[in-house]
Amino acid sequence: MVMGILKKRDKRGVSVMIGYVLLVVFALSISVGIYQWLKTFVPKDSLDCPDGVSMFLKSANFSDSTNKLTIEVVNSGRFNIAGYFIHISNVSVDEVPNIDVAPYLNKESNAGNQTGSVFFLGPEDNPFKPGDSETHFFDLVAEVGTPKLVSVIPTRQQMNEDRNIFVGCGNARAEQTVEYFA
């Protein structure tokens, strides 16, 4: 009689373990399937700008009295540009610029601001043509501090598999130290 009770307990323990193993296998197979499905949404090739994309910071000036940063950008490359990311360093010229100032774009500038980028206005996706020059103004707040170094990274709209994709051209970064005016 005691032997029969032990055998029933052993069988129940084994069936519970089989249930856990099946549950883990089921969860892993579903996660692998979902991973494979989500991989189809990620582009296989990295989105890079053409080698001829280049932007030059002709000047960067800051007025202490008005807290206004004025920059002049020139498209010095071979391709049209849609806009740029702009960051400043307020500590020293040796620090990598990491403060995004695109939200402080002045409404008087002939440009727009969206998703942390300043974009040029025009009828085309990339309206800033080679040789074009524009001046933009940024009304900085006191919390941002006094800029020491300005960095811009050009952006473009590019076609990829019949879709228009927004691309940052990190290999075409331009930097300029800031001049001060009262």
Give alpha helix (H) positions in the chain.
Answer: 2-39
CA distance 32 to 27: 9
Rounded distance between C-alpha atoms, residue 159 and residue 157, angstroms: 7
Instruction: Select from 84, 104, 92, 105 the least CA-distant residue to 151.
Output: 84
Three-state DSSP state, 66: coil
Residue 60 near residue 69 (C-beta atoms within 8 A): yes
Distance of CA 50 to the CA centre of its chain: 18
pTM beyond 0.85: the answer is no
Contact 178, 106 (CB under 8 A): no
Summarize pLDDT for 23-73 with one digit per residue, the tens: 999 999 999 999 999 988 876 766 778 889 999 999 999 998 899 999 999
Over residues 95-151, the pLDDT tens digits come to 889 999 999 999 888 788 877 889 998 888 899 999 999 999 999 998 888 999 999
115 backbone φψ class: left, alpha, beta (φ>0; ψ -120 to 50):
left
| 8-state DSSP, 84 | E
pLDDT tens-digit profile of 65-94? Answer: 899 999 999 999 999 999 999 999 988 878
